[in-house]
């Protein structure tokens, strides 16, 4: 049976001038559609939403430990995440209100878009996790991976496969003599 997915929709009109804060101890379903990425415990998150004209300023934190699969040896490993984020959310419909210039500080240069009516916090938290995942997921920097010939884990044992080096199609260029 599939676990219930976290969902929290905040209407723009419900955000007071003083801002609105949310704190969560667990976010079920947040990683459901991310392959080879599972939570190793609870996902804790906090976010503060403030209105800035027609825009929303979002800042918060997210803490969790994920179980990822190493891209070289395929073994699962723990990946701790502690994320602090802040960005400006701009309505997708950038009509007349965008004709005025917006002054941003350096730490406000992160920009996201929302529909102008509401913000789905599930999307905010999920995006932060996706942006923080390593492009190359490795259990350790010096992971040797699997032997391409027999599939043995080279971190555990040496391989006895014969290394066959195919001749490069560019090897004929070695014969060219320069004048």
pTM of the model: 0.75
Tens digits of per-residue pLDDT, 78-137? 999 999 999 899 998 755 555 566 666 655 568 888 998 999 999 899 999 999 999 999
| Residues 12-58: tens digit of each pLDDT | 999 998 999 999 998 888 888 888 889 999 999 999 999 999 999 99
**Predicted local distance difference test score (pLDDT) of residue 161:** 83
- pLDDT for res 135: 93
In angstroms, the CA 22 to CA 7 distance is: 12
Identify whether the C-beta of residue 31 lies closer than 8 Å to the C-beta of residue 37.
Answer: yes
Domain boundaries, the chain: 9-144
CA angle 118, 124, 125 (to 5 degrees): 140
Lowest-pLDDT choice from 63-72, 139-148, 164-173? 164-173
| pLDDT tops 80 at residue 4 | no
> How far apart (Å, rounded) are the C-alpha atoms in residues 53 and 72?
48
Positive/negative CA dihedral, 139, 140, 141, 142: negative
Mean confidence (pLDDT) of the chain: 86
């Amino acid at each position: 049976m599939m676990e219930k997915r976290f969902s929290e929709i905040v209407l723009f009109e419900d955000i007071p001038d003083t801002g609105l804060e949310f704190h969560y101890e667990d976010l079920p379903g947040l990683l459901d559609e991310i392959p080879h990425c599972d939570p190793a415990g609870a996902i804790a998150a906090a976010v503060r939403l403030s209105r800035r004209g027609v825009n929303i300023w979002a800042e918060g934190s997210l803490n969790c430990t994920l179980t990822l699969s190493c891209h070289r040896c395929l073994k699962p490993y723990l990946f701790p995440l502690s994320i602090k984020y802040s960005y400006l959310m701009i309505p997708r419909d950038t009509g007349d209100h965008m004709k005025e210039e917006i002054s941003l500080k350096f730490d406000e240069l992160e920009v996201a878009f929302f529909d102008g009516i509401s913000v789905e916090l599930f999307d905010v938290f999920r995006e932060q996790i996706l942006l923080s995942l390593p492009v190359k997921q490795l259990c350790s920097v010096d992971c040797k991976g699997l032997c391409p010939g027999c599939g043995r884990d080279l971190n555990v044992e040496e391989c006895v496969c014969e290394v066959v080096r195919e001749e490069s199609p560019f090897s004929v260029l070695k014969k060219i003599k320069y004048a």
